[in-house]
A and B are shown apart, each in its own frame.
Chain A
């Protein structure tokens, strides 16, 4: 099926990553960030100084003991950092290239199609890789006990920027197909593969999935949009979602019986040297410092794990996150400019038509920075958010319901069909400079805590 999404907005950020992939020298350290696995009750099983194999258990979930976090590479645990309320924030391992590997069950490509559901889920749980499969509503890790109505594979991205699904899957089509075959065993319903208009052979040629093409400005590539167009969720439905690039890792895990040692990500943004704006094959959980020291330009900058719309700020000495597939670097300080409220604004990025840049022909990618361009104000312009919201959601009213803490109203207005990332563009274009993603996330948390 083909779908055209009309509402939306392409932000136009300079520094789009090229499709070539460079292998990076093995990283000296790797790290695990347990807070990435939201909702996990931490039980730490290693201490500083322990020697670990690749795939050794570092931590398990007290609430669900089958779920483990494992070492992405073998070596010695050098530091365990704790943060607020003694939660473990980071476990760093100095890599020993000769360390042994933990073995999991390996399957032939043909055998995967006949695997039992429980076998697959057990292996995903014990390796921690189940966290790559997300569950709607609430977008947390898939619950093995749940029966998903259908599974959506997201193989496209319209925001700036995420690793290109075609590029990553073409590197390992066998693992991608194996990943799809695993998914077909996890649901009685359909497995949907959503691709962009420019998807190449690997994605278009995938077997045993229903292929859908989406076209249009961001957020045409968001999973919520795909679900709402293909098979809308009802209040009692559970749907699983997964990114195509993560499916490659899952497929590799089952084909090889070992944790995948590498992961492909993209590096982009105005503060990355032009020749370095591309894809990289990095060690899973590997240190990013070697990459940054070669690829980034000088000057104040913000390094973002993920894209500029929904990503999180990280430090330059950080490691690759488990679920991360992109790094974006943008200028962090922008000078205050004179009378922004009336200057023509030839170089300003705006969804509105209040700046001269909107009226000039041709769409330009700009070196956008972290400037807020204003201060927080009361909500004044009504219906403004709806212009970039392709979902059937009244954003103003959903926002008010969340601010009022009215969970019944939030659910009635469809919050359960959304993910905070769907409101990223509302964040961007908000003239009152609110943080809608944060507000929606708060609403979802409240519903989860109070129960539906």
Chain B
């Protein structure tokens, strides 16, 4: 340890003002403060400080994402092996295959996102922000395993540069950068993001019986006259399967169970907002129940609790909607924001024939609305203060 610290101190002058490598100072700073906490001392105000910093907060989110990541790796490999009729390949083979599929995507996301982050930090002369650690990890987890790597690069570039850096960087972004990256790919390269893209495979070898459709895809594509109850009864869609996540889908979001483990970690650590998570669930369940009563299409007849485990709801509500920068900031605002996300998801799923899934769009839309919600809440707060006066 001491040796490493000495080494850092010995090369530090290179990166300081007037040093040869002054231009890439943020890179050294990132590596230096990654290894050891910054040497900074308090000057005035509170002389003692909490041990928490943004690095710790961001890394906690990464830890909470790991269950989803590992399950996603296994599931991607498992789905591949099933599609290629490598029956009973076993856990190790599934994991290895999954790593081959997923790791390059994560690597490209971090490498390209990191490049932009470092570039902006160097040009603007500010330290490298830790926000990328989360964005660069969230993004691969919401992509189909078949995504071409160049699209990963283009997507994360759009999300980081247009979604975040042009607003001033971490903390200033209006929408969630990872989700914006996905939305960009969804509309720009729709062929890679919809249809039979949910199982990584070499097209010609796929076993005929495997359709690769997600449960929401099955339900929304049901023929006239069929009901959701039939699909469920016939075993095409199983609650348990959706809960566990052993089905095709985006890499990290199929397993509600893995997402729940992450949610418990976030809530225990006090990093994720329980208000937003709970409000999303309430919004989703109540709107789905309304759809059950008043709707007539097959999608509207899905029992509300199926919506909880379907598609990317759990992942979105737990990891995407709770991004503190793009979510509502006031406590009352968080309830409204979460509830409306849940409601919008059902509206898109049930009423929109074009998109079987609406989590991404609902969260992005509410990201845009969050400042408006907060503004209402703050105005209300001010009016209440005036009334007291």
Given contacts A336-B38, A337-B36, A380-B325, contact A372 B52 (CB under 8 A): no
**CB-based contact A383/B40 at 8 Å:** no
Interface bits B30-62 vs A (CB < 8 Å: 1, else 0): 000111111111101111111111111101100
Q: Which of B48, B168, B270 has the most CB of A within 10 A?
A: B48
Select A377's contact among B42, B54, B273, beta carbons within 8 Å. B54
**CB-based contact A370/B36 at 8 Å:** no
Select A340's contact among B51, B329, B331, beta carbons within 8 Å. B51
Select B329's contact among A330, A345, A382, beta carbons within 8 Å. A382
Taking CB as reference atom, which chain A residue is nearest B275? A383
Alpha-carbon gap, A31 to B367, bound state (A)? 58
Taking CB as reference atom, which chain A residue is nearest B268? A353
Alpha-carbon gap, A298 to B27, bound state (A)? 38
Counting CB contacts under 8 A, is B17 at the interface? no
Alpha-carbon gap, A138 to B287, bound state (A)? 50
**CB-based contact A381/B324 at 8 Å:** yes
**CB-based contact B53/A374 at 8 Å:** yes
Counting CB contacts under 8 A, is B293 at the interface? no
**CB-based contact B385/A340 at 8 Å:** no
Counting CB contacts under 8 A, is A13 at the interface? yes
Alpha-carbon gap, A121 to B388, bound state (A)? 32
**CB-based contact A311/B47 at 8 Å:** yes
Q: How far is the CB of A140 from chain B (nearest CB, A)?
A: 19
**CB-based contact B45/A414 at 8 Å:** no
Stretch at the interface among A103-111, A181-189, A302-310: A302-310
Counting CB contacts under 8 A, is B104 at the interface? no
**CB-based contact B36/A338 at 8 Å:** yes
Chain B residues near A348 (CB-CB < 8 A): 51
Select B36's contact among A234, A235, A336, beta carbons within 8 Å. A336
Given contacts A332-B41, A337-B36, contact A351 B46 (CB under 8 A): no
Taking CB as reference atom, which chain B residue is nearest A334? B41
Stretch at the interface among B92-100, B169-177, B347-355: B169-177
Alpha-carbon gap, A352 to B378, bound state (A)? 26
Alpha-carbon gap, A360 to B327, bound state (A)? 32
Counting CB contacts under 8 A, is B196 at the interface? no
Alpha-carbon gap, A13 to B50, bound state (A)? 12
**CB-based contact B270/A353 at 8 Å:** yes
Chain A residues near B42 (CB-CB < 8 A): 370-372
Stretch at the interface among A245-253, A286-294, A422-430: A422-430
Q: How far is the CB of B134 from chain A (nearest CB, A)?
A: 10
**CB-based contact A382/B37 at 8 Å:** no
**CB-based contact B385/A392 at 8 Å:** yes
Alpha-carbon gap, A338 to B5, bound state (A)? 9
**CB-based contact A414/B51 at 8 Å:** no
Select A380's contact among B36, B54, B168, beta carbons within 8 Å. B54
Alpha-carbon gap, A437 to B46, bound state (A)? 8
Counting CB contacts under 8 A, is A436 at the interface? yes
Chain B residues near A339 (CB-CB < 8 A): 34-36
**CB-based contact A413/B269 at 8 Å:** no
Counting CB contacts under 8 A, is B217 at the interface? no
Taking CB as reference atom, which chain A residue is nearest B4? A338
Counting CB contacts under 8 A, is B1 at the interface? yes
Alpha-carbon gap, A426 to B40, bound state (A)? 18
Taking CB as reference atom, which chain A residue is nearest B169? A378
Interface bits B271-283 vs A (CB < 8 Å: 1, else 0): 1010000000000
**CB-based contact A375/B35 at 8 Å:** no
Q: How far is the CB of B45 from chain A (nearest CB, A)?
A: 4
Chain A residues near B169 (CB-CB < 8 A): 378
Q: How far is the CB of B389 from chain A (nearest CB, A)?
A: 4
Q: How far is the CB of B103 from chain A (nearest CB, A)?
A: 21
Chain B residues near A342 (CB-CB < 8 A): 56, 59
Counting CB contacts under 8 A, is A397 at the interface? yes
Counting CB contacts under 8 A, is B129 at the interface? yes
**CB-based contact B51/A355 at 8 Å:** yes
**CB-based contact B52/A341 at 8 Å:** no
Chain A residues near B227 (CB-CB < 8 A): none
Q: How far is the CB of B186 from chain A (nearest CB, A)?
A: 26
**CB-based contact B269/A374 at 8 Å:** no
Alpha-carbon gap, A332 to B378, bound state (A)? 40
Given contacts A304-B47, A375-B38, contact A429 B53 (CB under 8 A): no
Within 8 A of A (CB), among B346-389: 374, 378, 381-382, 385-386, 388-389
**CB-based contact A349/B46 at 8 Å:** no
Counting CB contacts under 8 A, is B67 at the interface? no
**CB-based contact A353/B269 at 8 Å:** yes
**CB-based contact A340/B269 at 8 Å:** no
Select A383's contact among B33, B35, B331, beta carbons within 8 Å. B331
**CB-based contact B171/A379 at 8 Å:** yes
Alpha-carbon gap, A336 to B51, bound state (A)? 12
Given contacts A337-B36, A353-B269, contact A369 B57 (CB under 8 A): no
Chain A residues near B331 (CB-CB < 8 A): 383, 386
Counting CB contacts under 8 A, is B304 at the interface? no
**CB-based contact A427/B171 at 8 Å:** no
Taking CB as reference atom, which chain A residue is nearest B171? A378
Interface bits A165-207 vs B (CB < 8 Å: 1, else 0): 0000000000000000000000000000000000000000000
Chain B residues near A380 (CB-CB < 8 A): 54, 57, 131, 170-171, 324-325
Within 8 A of B (CB), among A313-333: 313, 328, 330, 332-333
**CB-based contact A438/B45 at 8 Å:** yes
The 6 residue pairs across chains A and B that have the minimum distance between CB atoms: A378-B171, A374-B53, A427-B46, A348-B51, A382-B329, A340-B37
Add 4 more A-B contacts to A354-B57, A394-B378 (CB < 8 A): A345-B51, A368-B48, A375-B127, A383-B334
Q: List 19 A-B contacts (CB under 8 A).
A: A310-B45, A330-B47, A340-B37, A352-B270, A354-B269, A373-B50, A373-B52, A375-B40, A375-B53, A377-B170, A380-B325, A396-B329, A412-B386, A413-B381, A429-B50, A429-B52, A430-B50, A433-B53, A436-B45
